[in-house]
Structure 1
Amino acid sequence: MEKIPGLQVYKFGGASVKDAAAILNLCRIVRDFGPKGPLVVVVSAMGKTTNALEEIYDLAYSGQDWAQQMESLTAYHERACVELAALIPMVKLSQLREQLQQLVLELTEEMQFMKLVHKPESYDQGYDKIVSFGERFSVLLVRTALTYFVSAVAVHYMPVQSVICTDETWREGKVNWSVTETRTRYIVEKELAAGAKIFVTEGFTGGTETFGLPITLGREGSDYSAAILAYCLRAESVTIWKDVAGLLNADPKIFPDTVRYPEISYRETIEMAYYGASVIHPKTLKPLADRNIPLRVKSFLDPEAEGTLIHDCQHPALAPAFIRKTDQCLLSFASKDFSFISEENLAVIFAALAQAKLKINVMQNSAISFSVCVDFSQRRVHQLLDLLREQFLLHYNTGLLLFTIKNYDSASIATLTAGKRLLLEQRTRGTFQFVCAA
């Protein structure tokens, strides 16, 4: 299958579309720094919209009133509509408001329907349906702004549910790559022939193969969406626009004196993302590496800056990377009869972890116990305990921190562990991890 000459993919996260001014900045980046060839623009929900929709959904699911939260979320997006029309006078405010209100009405109807018929086992499916509205809201504003700021003829809206096809693993949709590639190329090639140049679509979500139902690809999954589309279109490159100068060795909000990596390999970046580096979603790199598509991480606050280039390369030893994950849970399983933790025991524990959809961040075993550190979810942890309490003695601690040092040295370990009580620690050739109280 031939490449589409010059095609690139840009992904804009929640901070880069948080309000009307940010969306106007996005338009300027596309106009001033975008490629000469076709461009696919993947957009996340605005600001903290996903968090707000999660709160609304949880309130509704537990039978509590969610009207006030919905009103606040609607007002936030309506304010962005008004401000966008003021910044780009060609934008028809009445038309934009009407489209937004239609989406809000659709969301409200879904919430009310769920209140009438929801079943406990449908939580994850309902989550995907409701939370996916965040990207639909933001894409409405972004595509409207680009239409009037760039060119109405050049901008085409490509609903992600019609292109990214998955199974029905709710909240972690597994991509059907062949179907997704066929659909994506068909739409892009057809619209290119009709004069389109910029394709705007939602991140984080897709559609199920059977009925095209909304499904999410994993929390913070818009990076992955961009990689999926880049893979299917054999893109020239992907650029992720962030509020930082590139891929840094630590979160500058937490760690002082951060270092930017000008260039880094796919392998190093995949490992950093796996351990929880917040800049890139863990699934993003594999499809890009498979087709040798370079990934750039650049700042939407300073689009002329160099950023970071992630590709197939060799480089000297990197500065230690510091990664912190909050809201961790340390679970320990012990045999009830003081027998050793055997392979059979581990198989039972791993099966239960998979059933509860809990991902292991660190694991460690001794003669008669096995411990894992996972992202805390009260519902999922309790499901795990229900599955295993008859076979094991169970203990768990919540509210913990997990620190990872990639490419560690003795000085970095001493600095990060100073004054902390370590509940679990693990060291390999290139990685040091420990769990401690917050």
Structure 2
Amino acid sequence: MRVFKFGGASVKDAEGIKNVYNVLQRVGYEDVLLVVSAMGKTTNALEVVIKDYFDKSSSLQSSVQEVKKYHNHILLDLFEDDTHSVFTAVKTQFNDLDYFLAHNKSPNYDFVYDQVVSYGELISTTILAHFMNHMGINTQWIDVRNFIKTDSNYRDATVDWDLTHKNISKNVKRKTLNITQGFLGSNENNFTTTLGREGSDYTAAIFAYCLNAESVTIWKDVPGVMNADPRYFENASLLNQISYREAIELAFYGATVIHPKTLQPLQRKEIPLYVKSFINPLLKGTSVSRGVNLEPYLPCFIVKRNQLLISLSSIDFSFIMEENISEIFSLFHEFKLKVNLIQNTAISFSVCVEDKFDNFNELNAILSKKFKVDFTPNVTLYTIRHFNDSAAQTVENGKKVVLKQISTETMQIVTSE
């Protein structure tokens, strides 16, 4: 079997749904399992619903209504007959959402989050499956929650691989087009869970692993994986081949290539992953697989903006030792600051971090009791894999370099612009 993953951008409107049909006509759909995300920005819209729910806001009904209107508009664009069974199927799912919001008693934000956002994927796949049937492609709609079983760590659930493998290998029909949801699973009590960051890609990898699939293809609005973000670098080039190891290295430094948790099950069975264009589906795209590390062999640029550079030094000029570093990292973890670069000397310690939750001021108050703390906000961290002098110059020209670190394969440069 082949596993295809279509993200939210590929199914954001009626034209997107029609294009998925066209892609399948061109690349084939027998022995295919589709993993599909919520449509467009639906997850964001459902996060507004959750916020209004917890705030007990009078806007709750209107925020739910916005999600309903968005999907109903797509339905009316796809199906001329508004008595088609898809309208009833989608209405039933929205009724279930309304019922949950009216009757839920749990104050657990993460639990509520998973129950509510899941409707994005459930509804998108329902619409897609009905449209494929309408166009003459027989489909099997799968509720992924009956297949991928997890623990109860809502919003970042861990997969029960033994039970999941048993469910998928025994119950997925071959020789048909299967359509299921990305991002979702369920726990032992059948409450919905979600798989965390890049969850839909991970779902595709889970099914591929359990089905011994021939390949996984992630369909995007770009021709494949580029060596740099075209928004920041001119002349970004397509990478034809990336090894599993190199893709994990790139992801570690922040490249939005493929999340390591997606690659790990594929690597274990050497299942190739392709990143291809849903606009030009017959182009080769990028292959992430066993083989050459990188082809063509080019410097790869990763940019992380809005970083915070923190420098800690001992107040009494004593060494910063292991116990100090251990304490510092424990605090970073507690205050949810993601560390992207580390550099230390005998009496100082510098880190470039991401303060996504605006916790640094509180952390700084604690650190300042033991260390001299200097910090520079809004710096940019550039990472260059397979760097050369020309690549470094590309990054450094016209910028103030405040920190640079070089290892065998990787150069990291922090700039304040």
TM-score, normalization by structure 2: 0.88
Structure 1 residues 244 and 366, CA, compared in 2 at 3 Å: closer, same or farther?
A: same
Please state if 1:284 is matched with 2:258. no
C-alpha distance after superposition, 1:241-270 (max 9, x if no partner): 011111111222332211111222111122
Please state if 1:124 is matched with 2:110. yes
Q: Distance in 1 between matches of 2:141 and 2:201?
A: 19
Structure 1 residues 174 and 395, CA, compared in 2 at 3 Å: closer, same or farther?
A: farther
Amino acid at match of 2:406: R
Q: Distance in 1 between matches of 2:94 and 2:310?
A: 40
Please state if 1:413 is matched with 2:392. yes
Q: Distance in 2 between matches of 1:211 and 1:387?
A: 41
The more displaced of 60-69 and 338-347 is 60-69
In the TM superposition, what is the alpha-carbon distance from 1:240 to its structure 2 partner?
Answer: 0.7
Amino acid at match of 2:169: R
Match of 1:50 among 30, 43, 65: 43
Say if 1:335 and 1:392, in contact at 8 Å, map to a contact too. yes
Q: Cα RMSD (Å) of the superposition?
A: 2.9
Match of 1:301 in 2: 279
Structure 1 residues 295 and 149, CA, compared in 2 at 3 Å: closer, same or farther?
A: same
Task: Report the 3-state secondary structure (helix = DSSP H, G, I; strand = E; otherwise coil) of the residue aligned with 1:256.
Answer: coil
Match of 1:433 in 2: 412
Task: Report the 3-state secondary structure (helix = DSSP H, G, I; strand = E; otherwise coil) of the residue aligned with 2:352.
Answer: strand
Match of 2:96 in 1: 106
- 5 Å-filtered alignment, 1:17-32, equals 17-32=11-26
Task: Report the 3-state secondary structure (helix = DSSP H, G, I; strand = E; otherwise coil) of the residue aligned with 2:251.
Answer: helix
Task: Report the 3-state secondary structure (helix = DSSP H, G, I; strand = E; otherwise coil) of the residue aligned with 1:260.
Answer: coil
Please state if 1:148 is matched with 2:138. no
Say if 2:241 and 2:288, in contact at 8 Å, map to a contact too. yes
The more displaced of 339-348 and 15-24 is 339-348
C-alpha distance after superposition, 1:204-232 (max 9, x if no partner): 22222x32322222223211111111111
Say if 1:340 and 1:368, in contact at 8 Å, map to a contact too. yes
Task: Report the 3-state secondary structure (helix = DSSP H, G, I; strand = E; otherwise coil) of the residue aligned with 1:132.
Answer: helix
Q: Distance in 1 between matches of 2:143 and 2:374?
A: 45
In the TM superposition, what is the alpha-carbon distance from 1:274 to its structure 2 partner?
Answer: 2.3
Q: Distance in 2 between matches of 1:416 and 1:225?
A: 36
Say if 1:156 and 1:199, in contact at 8 Å, map to a contact too. yes
Q: What runs of 5+ residues in structure 2 fail to find an aligned partner?
A: none
Please state if 1:207 is matched with 2:191. no
In the TM superposition, what is the alpha-carbon distance from 1:56 to its structure 2 partner?
Answer: 3.3
- 5 Å-filtered alignment, 1:112-261, equals 112=102, 117-118=106-107, 122-152=108-138, 155-188=139-172, 191-192=173-174, 197-208=176-187, 210-261=188-239
Q: Distance in 2 between matches of 1:93 and 1:427?
A: 64
In the TM superposition, what is the alpha-carbon distance from 1:147 to its structure 2 partner?
Answer: 2.1
Q: What runs of 5+ residues in structure 1 fail to find an aligned partner?
A: 1-6
C-alpha distance after superposition, 1:343-381 (max 9, x if no partner): 223333334444555543222334444444344332666
Between the aligned residues of both structures, percent identity stands at 39
- 5 Å-filtered alignment, 1:263-278, equals 263-278=241-256
Say if 1:230 and 1:237, in contact at 8 Å, map to a contact too. yes
Q: Distance in 1 between matches of 2:260 and 2:298?
A: 20
Task: Report the 3-state secondary structure (helix = DSSP H, G, I; strand = E; otherwise coil) of the residue aligned with 2:217.
Answer: strand
Q: Distance in 1 between matches of 2:94 and 2:83?
A: 16
C-alpha distance after superposition, 1:44-99 (max 9, x if no partner): 1111222222333234434545434333222211111111114xx7xx65532333
Count of residues in Structure 1 that have an aligned counterpart in Structure 2: 415
In the TM superposition, what is the alpha-carbon distance from 1:183 to its structure 2 partner?
Answer: 1.1
Q: Distance in 1 between matches of 2:103 and 2:317?
A: 51
Please state if 1:33 is matched with 2:27. yes
Q: Distance in 1 between matches of 2:111 and 2:365?
A: 22
In the TM superposition, what is the alpha-carbon distance from 1:300 to its structure 2 partner?
Answer: 0.2
Q: Distance in 1 between matches of 2:83 and 2:398?
A: 56
In the TM superposition, what is the alpha-carbon distance from 1:202 to its structure 2 partner?
Answer: 0.9
In the TM superposition, what is the alpha-carbon distance from 1:279 to its structure 2 partner?
Answer: 3.7
C-alpha distance after superposition, 1:154-179 (max 9, x if no partner): x1122121212222333222222112
Amino acid at match of 1:229: F
Say if 2:315 and 2:370, in contact at 8 Å, map to a contact too. yes
